[in-house]
Amino acid sequence: MESTRTEWIAEIIAWIKSNSAQIIFWINGIPGSGKSTIAQTIAQHPDIRLMLISHIFFKRENTRRHDIIKLVAYRLAERNDKMAEVIVSRLHKRTLTLRDTFINFILEPLKVAESAGLLKEPIIILLDALDEYGTSESRTQLMQIFSNDFTDLPHLIRFLITSRPEADLVRALSSKTHVREGTLDVRTEESRRDVSIYIETELKKLVSRQLSAGPEWDEMMLKFDTAADGLFI
């Protein structure tokens, strides 16, 4: 919704366009704090859309262990012919682990592309609701890759990740030099302001006549805002 989450959007776009060594921007927060809405807004932003090669929204019931790596590799192959050639040339290689798959089909093709001067603008991969990707046990290898191997990626690669602050994600992503971390705190003035805008806008859509601003309306909005307690949900 226009005029909401403006600070977050500006910060994320500035990070995407920078040459920061922080490959990952991890946005975490409790359910209803607006993580996926921010991700969707970034995905549709006119300054970002052409840089986005993959936007994955996870649901626990339909994700498999290798989906992320393989799908991102496929999107990289679509990006340009040189990376496609490198990725295809590696299809015969035996990959015993998820890390093998990452190195063969993402890390090394990107390094080849970087050496060839093909990476001229940021490449964005958006992973929304990563905590819904299986269980903490099934995510173990993936989290190790995020935690350790992502430091070797070219600096123009940008992974925007949203999730709840599950323990395994916190261990893998928090306080890492290649990770920028942002927590959606529903208690902040920004969150309460944005929720207030959202509530009032949506309620006005439901009324059959134009309501004029006044003490009665303002009092009602204050009650709703207080009850929402910073949560969009």
The pLDDT score that the predictor gives to residue 212 is 63
The pLDDT score that the predictor gives to residue 26 is 98
The pLDDT score that the predictor gives to residue 209 is 63
Low-confidence ranges of the chain (pLDDT < 70): 61-66, 208-213
Helix (H) / strand (E) element for 11: namely helix 6-17
The pLDDT score that the predictor gives to residue 98 is 92
Q: Are 125 and 158 in contact (CB under 8 A)?
A: yes
Structure-token pair, residue 83: 């990376």
| Cβ burial, residue 192 (10 Å; 0-12/13-18/19+) | middle
- Select from 177, 174, 148 the least CA-distant residue to 161: 174
The pLDDT score that the predictor gives to residue 175 is 95
What's the pTM value of the predicted model, to 2 decimals?
0.87
The pLDDT score that the predictor gives to residue 220 is 87
31: three-class secondary structure by DSSP: coil
User: Beta strands 157-163 and 179-183: pairing type?
Assistant: unpaired
8, amino acid identity: W
